[in-house]
Structure 1
């Protein structure tokens, strides 16, 4: 394979990878939905105390509904955001054998 053919093959591979990434993002967003606080606790198999601490520390993606400083804010979570967060946490905690 000549240098030009190799360059073309590399460019095509890069473009295919980008297109595949865009398609996967669109598919993920099509299946996205919002979860309430209790649904998120069930989904993550986590206590409400632990989830509230993660929200307070801003360590998990969420939205707060209610007036600022409210004593009883409502938390909403995006399913796709939680999936990305779980993958990032797993990657952060994974240490392959050396």
Structure 2
């Protein structure tokens, strides 16, 4: 199987930060807070997560100029594991599409 697609909406909890990889690729990084109510086994449950997001390439600069902390967005892309600052693996959403929700 090779399916890997996620769509998630939420609120930016930090300002987008531009970085450049050793290969010279521009990345825009930020975190998004998702909260919702979902039905599971015929019961309503509260869902909450904080999802790290990365946008690469030409889209990274555009996104960093269009969104800011507190904005509500819808993101779709694929998941990949990255090592965080403490060396632990975490899932990161690599955004291929971002829509600002007004």
TM-score range normalised by the length of the shorter chain: under 0.3
TM-score (ref. length: structure 1): 0.27
* Structure with greater helix share of residues: 1
TM-score (ref. length: structure 2): 0.27
* Structure with greater strand share of residues: 2
Higher relative contact order (CA closer than 8 Å, sequence separation 6+): 2
Structure number with greater Rg is 1
